[in-house]
Structure 1
Amino acid sequence: MKPVDIARLHTLGAPSLSPDGARAVLAVTRPDLEEDAYLGSLWTVPTDGSAPARRLTRGQRDASPLFSPDGRWIAFLRPDEDRRPQIHVLPSDGGEPWRITGHPLGAGAFTWSPDSTRLAYNARVPEEGRYVDGTPDKEPPRRLTALKYRLDDFGFTNDRRQQVFVSAPVDPAGEAGEPVQVTVGDTDHGRPLWTPDGTGLVFDAALHATRDTDLVRDLWVCAPEAGAEPRRITRGDLGARAAALADDGATVYFLADELGPDLSDFVGRVTGLWSVPLDGTEPPRRLTGTEDPRMVQTPRVTDEGVLVTGENRGAVELYRVTPGGVRSVVHGGHVQVTSFDHAGGVTVVASSGERDSGELYAVTGDGPRRLTSFGDPELDPVAVTELTARTVDGTEVHGWVAVPEGEGPHPVVLMIHGGPFAQYGWQLFDETQVYAAAGYAVVYCNPRGSSGYGQEHGRAVIGSVGAVTSTDVLALLDEALTDERLDASRVGVMGGSHGGFMTTWIAAHHGDRFRAAISERAVNAIDSFHGSSDIGPYFPEPLYGPPETWAKESPLSHADRIDRPFLIIHSEQDWRCPVEQAQRLFVSLKRRGHETEMLLFPGEGHELSRTGLPSHRVARFEAILEWWARHL
């Protein structure tokens, strides 16, 4: 796989099933290097496997399809002439779609009313005179009064809050009527969900007085009308989101994080599946434990239990959880379930694996049945082998190694993921494939601090992030280097975000193990990160400890010990790990006369390597390969 081959990979959106379960519709998106954009359209496929998938829409940027409860309509998002997503509706039996929203900043997540006549959805409401005339530099100054005022890869939120709207009745023969704005207030409201009787909307929001200094989000319910007074369902002590309702409307199932006594300690906490009565008469009840898989997608209620996905040792599996909390695997193993749906007794999953970037499957009692063939048949990925190691204290470290073709010995790249509460997994990973195809053995793992291995594992790095994580990743590297096909004298280390933090840390503390390093979008100095990052006011103390320990825990404090060639990659619009984090490290190394370079990408945020412009993703890969060719 070459850098330009990212155009041969695709992404599947969330599938939507017709009410009888006979048909699925989903969006398929690919990077397009000529357009330098991500292009996609809607596809449909019968779930009995009787016919191949066929393209449903002619749009180039269609996404998020959803069948109406009566099966007559499919709502989806399509950009308007200003490339802002608006909700469109398409007759499910064929025909031309029409637009039903026209918000100046576009529309977002939506759900159908039970009678299939209206949609409840999210849309951002800009302050007057902002975001509408294409001249942002001439807008008036922003007056900031709260800590939560911006978000990476998005921008400022304080002057365009996300509200809940209800559309006019769907009418293909007439003009779209005016929507009703249901919510107001200086906070963002989450995806609305109709109650089964159509008289209420359930959504998540932080409406409490201390929302700027804690991480609490509650579930609320209100009537689908302007000026409706919301009623709180949860109890003000969880980070709640992603609600689903039982068929009778009596119970709400949702995902939530516990937040500790100060309501802001989220680090390494395993997201659970919870339930609560819609009437709020009982407190929420946790159905999955803190050492169970971390639940990651909106649940779906079925007659047999609640379907929900979870991270488990590098996999993302689909589970069924009973109201009593009994969990079973519906679709698991070496898979990455990215989305799913259930209707008419049929369950479908969009799932990728070690050799493909995603297909749609019908899950049956006899196992999964593949329904689509979107993958490039000529793409032949390098095989990845599972690997485990143990540290001196007996901690198991789980990871993988990809070895290129040929006898070797091959130079080695040690990759470290971000988070830290995230995971590498069983997937066709473009990073692994590009480096392995270029001749490098790639070693990567889920050290302590990673998700997918329980809360104790996830919180084990608190207060000693660099030391604990480096112990684990170096243990797996040592295990990998017992393979004579790997060259222990030619090893590089790289990582992004938390992985960039660890790259700088390891280069300073264990530099003798490596020939060179690449640190991307890193946290390097905790003190300035605290004030400059969009999550800075809440992130450092739960992970790195009190302010008096930040200097010791910051990789920048140890940069004078780095004696290996060092490449820094960062995005100019990164608000998660702001560019000053890269600049401070660059100046520190450069002032010493050290061999260092910095590659800055304009217009990109923290997610450059995953969702940045396709041309920038290719340029990033080419720069990395050139650096490794020069030093390994």
Structure 2
Amino acid sequence: MRAPVLRDTVPGLPEVPVRFGFAFSADGRWATCLNAAGDRVALERWSLDGAVPARRVVGAADRDSRPLPLNDGRVLVARTAPGGGHGSVVALPDGTRTWPVSAMLAGYLLASPGSPQTVVLVTVEDERHSRIWALSDASLEPVLRIPGVLSGGVWLDEGNLLAFDHAGLEHRADGIVVDLRERTWRRVWSVSDTTTDRIAACSRRARVLAVTTGVPGGQRIGLWSPGGGPVRFPEALNRSGFARTPLTFDESGEHLLVSEVCGATTRLLVHTPAGDRVEPVAGPPGTLWPPASWTGERIHVRFSAPHQPPTLATVHRRARSGWSLARQAPDPMTAWADADLVELPGPDGPIEAIVYGGPRWRECPRVVLALHGGPLAAWRFEFEPLFQHLALAGVAVVAPNYRGSTGYGEQHMRAVVGDWGGPDLADVVHLGRAVAGPRREAGLPGPLLLGGSYGGYLALLAACRSPRTWSGCVALAPFTSPAGLHRDADAPVRDRVARLNGPGDDERRDVLRECAALTAPLLLAHGTRDELIPVAQSRALRKRLLELGRTEGIDFDYLEVDDGHTAVVQAWPSDLRTNLVRFCLAAERIAATGQERR
């Protein structure tokens, strides 16, 4: 990095404990998860019997471990060997029992509700086959090899029948039932030959499955009784214009827990099939993920908010307090910054944004406008380490969900289908100018752009389209045009480009043709092992900037990271994150240096 940038001191960010990979025992008394802090990953077991969940570390793990708690408190862990195509199952906490698995690209465990519990291992052997194994103290026995890829899995009885999501060789998902005793499988439901159909939850007592089926623009939730006729799609359950996901039934099977994405937040709902009623469950704003467990009046689910790294949340459905998070030891060094949900005026209606910096964020010395990837994605009201690092450095962050973002209804989302860099770019430029004008009058620098993946492309377009608005631009793993991405990417990405935009050649939306207008300092970073957007896209932009007479290290910085797409645009390795924050702190001085030089 250049000398002017290095003069800025970037505060260190404390290690962020991130919990993921939650699983619950069949009786709901135990939970497990992985807790990653830096390069260390620990396996945690939670006791859910008491008034407050209690946890303990039961061993070391890696990010690819798939733990499962049993009803007696033991923990089994499925692990794939890095690059080896094989794996193992390990019993914890003693770790004295290991079952090797000869062919295993990926795998996970399922334990039945009956006593004694039946335990199976589901493995993906290759791109064309999955296998189900029966696990006992004595051995790991192969039961059935099935063409296609299996995922999910719910028990239909006490330990013999299982229902799975099944992606056949044509990659369309449907539902199958496996009979372990007979070692057979059969397809049991599919809405049509063109839908993606999945099984989400099962109530054995009520003998009903909650299923989802993909339809244009979203998905529908259905209820189906095996052998009891066609799938029913309750009106109230599917009336909302927001995305809903079935999570779990209560013990009686009379109520279904559902999560609903509403703007940047996620909330819980309870659907009662008898009467087709939907009721909200009180809780703080944040983001929720499956899986969930519902025993008695207590619901357990993974939760995060801007100031709260992901952890286990407990919902007491009928209590007034309603909601509690797993207790953590107080640590004054990790008082994370909070954020607000704010509506900002856009050119075609209000735009919801997540804002770090308090009510006077517009007056902060530096403001970053963060653009999400996708394009059909959104910022969620959850913990973001990069935003925390920027906030710790005194940088305000505005993360808008402009047109094309999910969670705001069909019309908002589909505005950019076939029109990448159209309505979304108009929203971004409008927001940037609205922030930059008053700041310029107050003698403050304009906002900086920051985007990754599609957001990086959008940031580059905005920096070219309205160059005087911005004091800097950070583009992480961007592409330079839809046509260029369609040309260079692998088949799945090319298919997505063709489906959502079409590889048309529009000069006004080609960064390589527009970048002569770029005046703001630029930080461009890309992973050399990017499997989605080839690094050739950023290398082409670097080459074009040099051809235009720009000087690397003064007009722009270029970084290549030895990693893949997700690491650069979501995980943000520590060195990259530090360079990014340092760039944001010094961008206006870099711009002044460049202007003097020119």
Same fold (TM > 0.5): yes
Aligned to 2:411: 456
Alignment: residue pair count? 562
Aligned position for 2:42 = 40
The CA deviation at 1:416 is: 0.5
- 1:317 aligns with 267
Aligned counterpart, 2:258: 308
Q: 2:130 aligns with which of 145, 148, 163?
A: 163
Determine whether 1:330 maps to 2:266.
no
In the aligned structure 2, how far is the partner of 1:122 from the partner of 1:480? 52
Aligned-CA RMSD value: 3.4
Q: How does 1:514-553 map to 2 (within 5 A)?
A: 514-531=470-487, 532-533=489-490, 535-544=492-501, 546-548=502-504, 553=509
Report the alpha carbon displacement of residue 222 of structure 1 after superposing the two structures with TM: 3.3
- From the superposition, tell whether residues 316 and 189 of structure 1 become closer, same or farther in structure 2 (CA, over 3 Å): same
Query: How far apart, CA to CA, are the structure 2 residues paired with 1:590 and 1:422?
Result: 33
Unaligned runs of 5+ in 1: 127-157, 261-268
Contact between 1:337 and 1:352, CA under 8 Å: does it hold in 2?
Answer: yes
- For residues 282 and 120 of structure 2, the distance between their equivalents in structure 1, rounded to whole angstroms, comes to 31
Aligned equivalent of 2:157, options 185, 196, 200 = 196
Contact 2:23 2:69 in 1 (8 A): no
Distance 2:443 2:96 in 1: 58
Partner of 2:559: 599
Taking every aligned residue pair, what percent have the same amino acid on both sides?
A: 19
Match of 1:206 among 167, 178, 194: 167
After TM superposition, the structure 1 = structure 2 runs for residues 49-88 of structure 1, keeping only pairs within 5 Å, are 49=51, 53-61=54-62, 64-68=66-70, 71=72, 73-78=74-79, 86-88=88-90
2:107 maps to a residue whose letter is G
Task: Tell me how far apart the structure 2 counterparts of residues 462 and 217 of structure 1 sit (CA, whole Å).
Answer: 24
Query: TM (normalized to structure 1)?
Result: 0.79
5+ long unaligned stretches in structure 2: 1-8, 589-598
Contact 2:45 2:57 in 1 (8 A): yes
Q: Counterpart in 1 of 2:388? A: 433
Quick one: distance in 2 between partners of 1:108 and 1:123? 4
Counterpart CA distance in 2 for 1:559 and 1:447 is 23
CA positional deviation for 1:2: 6.3
Residue type at the aligned position of 1:582: S
AA in 2 matched with 1:180: V
2 CA distance for matches of 1:406 and 1:326? 41
CA distance in 1 between counterparts of 2:444 and 2:219 reads 39
Q: CA 1:529 to 1:203, structure 2 compared with 1: closer, same or farther past 3 Å?
A: farther
- Say which SS state the counterpart of residue 489 (structure 1) adopts: coil
Q: Which residue number corresponds to residue 397 of structure 1?
A: 351
Structure 2 partner of 1:147: none
2:32 match:
26
What letter corresponds to residue 327 of structure 1 in structure 2?
V
Match of 1:295 in 2: 244
Return the offset for 1:619: 0.8
CA contact 1:318–1:329 (8 Å) conserved in 2: yes
Q: Counterpart of 2:151 in 1: which secondary structure?
A: coil
Q: CA deviation at 1:183?
A: 0.8
**Higher RCO, 1 or 2 (CA under 8 Å, sep at least 6)?**
1
The alpha-carbon distance between structure 1 residues 492 and 222, as it changes in their structure 2 partners (threshold 3 A), is same
Equivalent residue of 2:416, what SS?
coil
Counterpart CA distance in 2 for 1:226 and 1:193 is 18
Write the letter of the residue equivalent to 1:233. W
My pick for the range that moved more, 486-495 or 443-452, is 486-495
Per the TM alignment, residue 482 of structure 1 is displaced from its structure 2 partner at its CA by 7.7
Q: CA deviation at 1:392?
A: 3.4
Matches of 1:590 and 1:627, distance apart in 2: 20
User: Could you tell me how far apart the structure 1 residues matched to 2:282 and 2:75 are?
Assistant: 27
Structure 2: distance between partners of 1:58 and 1:87: 14
Structure with more strand by fraction:
2
Do 1:9 and 1:375's aligned partners in 2 also have CA atoms closer than 8 Å? no
Aligned CA distance change for structure 1 residues 182 and 338 (closer, same or farther; 3 Å): same
* 1:585-610 Cα distance to aligned partner (Å, 9 max, x none): 22222221233332111133334343
Q: 1:223 to 1:498 in 2, by over 3 A?
A: same
Answer whether contact 1:308 1:320 (CA < 8 A) is retained: yes
What SS does the corresponding residue of 1:574 show, helix, strand or coil?
Answer: coil
Deviations 1:287-330 (A, max 9, x none): 64475332357545553422232322211222222336533222
Paired residue for 1:180, among 143, 159, 163? 143
